[in-house]
Amino acid sequence: MATMSPLSRARSAEPQVQERSAGELLSSVTSDLQLLFRQEVELAKVEIKEEGTKAGKAAGMYGGAGFAGYMVLLFLSLAAMFGLAGVMDEGWAALIIAALWAVTAAVLFQKGRAKMRTVSPKPEHTVQTLKEDAEWARHPTK
């Protein structure tokens, strides 16, 4: 068993700094950028999915408003038919039902429009992190 001199022990205790070649550095930067890009794409997918869900709900309310509008036309038609038939009681009843459907259509339309206004087609988080990444790429030491 060989004994180590104090000088060799001191050298072995120093951290080993390895010189990396330009190719290794470029490879490391490239793999880091690929990872960063994949993460940004994944973030964009998540944001777009969330916005699509909100848009789907708003579209459902528009559909409800359309159906309610159809019902308004149906009951207004029935009201006109019964009104012309000379039976005033049945006509007024159909007119009241049609008015209720008109209110329902108006409420659903307003809710759908309000929900649609909250939908943002631009993935805000992704845009912000891309700006931060570009700033970091310009000034990596800050």
For 40-73, what is each residue's pLDDT tens digit?
888 888 888 888 898 899 999 999 999 999 888 8
Q: What is the pTM (predicted TM-score) of this model? A: 0.40
Q: What is the mean pLDDT of residues 98-118?
A: 89
Rounded alpha-carbon distances, angstroms, from residue 126 to 38, 56, 77, 121, 130? 12, 22, 52, 12, 6
| Rounded Cα–Cα distance for residues 38 and 95 (Å) | 59
What amino acid is encoded at 45 in this protein?
K
